[in-house]
Amino acid sequence: MTSAHPAPLADASLARPGRAPVTTHGELSHIALTMFLERGFDETTVNEIAQEAGIGRRTFFRYFSSKNELPWGDFGSLLDNMRVRLSETDPAQPLADALRSAIISFNTFPEEERDTHRKRMWLLLNVPSLTAYSTLKYESWRRVIAEFIGARRGESPDSLTPQSIAWACLGLCLAAYERWLADDDSDLLLLLDSAFASAASTFSSQAS
């Protein structure tokens, strides 16, 4: 899943032998992820990533605003899709069901992307400089949840209930991801579904 970007004006002089210059947002992200895992995130520079991808530094920044953005891939586009999905939810659908369905959809990736997504999440949850940056991304994710809940309840997204539920949803997701990364044989979507189901049964009541 990649967002639409204009084809870059690659600098052929920088292209690595045997590799054509990258032409997609997703391809550049994949190259960077591999380099981060091999060399370390902090040890890998933007110039090195651009050179490996066969593009110039200026072209790199047409795709990503910073090195910290690379592991997040198409997060912005996926978040927009979740916002639209929630806005189109049947008002009669229970709030908990609507959230669980939208969040599972948000975390659904093609099978061929499974290994890449696992590597991405390992970096985001284990590299200190990335975990600090992740707070900004988590805030925007929670905002989408809080806005939906606030609209459902006729409250401000900044009110206690929308914010509390948004934080709880994030916690459930992170718990599922931690478990997924710890067990190669586990299924991420089943873990997410189980996390939300267990929370619902544990608290036995839900906001409406």
pLDDT bucket at 10, cuts 50 / 70 / 90: very low
Q: Which class for 29: exposed (0-12), middle (13-18), buried (19 or more C-beta within 10 A)?
A: buried
- Phi and psi dihedrals of 28, rounded to 5? -65, -40
Question: CA–CA separation, 125 vs 121, rounded Å?
Answer: 6
What digits encode the pLDDT tens for the residues 35-62?
A: 999 999 999 999 999 999 999 999 999 9
pLDDT of amino acid 150: 97
Cα pseudo-dihedral 155, 158, 161, 164, rounded to 10: 160
pLDDT of amino acid 19: 53
Q: What is the DSSP letter of 3?
A: -
Indicate whether 83 pLDDT > 80.
Answer: yes
Average pLDDT, the chain: 87
Question: CA–CA separation, 14 vs 8, rounded Å?
Answer: 13
Interacting residues of 146 by C-beta distance below 8 A, sequence separation 6+? 157, 158, 162, 163, 165, 166
Provide the token pair at 75. Answer: 């997060």
Indicate whether 17 pLDDT > 70.
Answer: no
The model's pTM is 0.82
Q: What is the DSSP letter of 6?
A: P
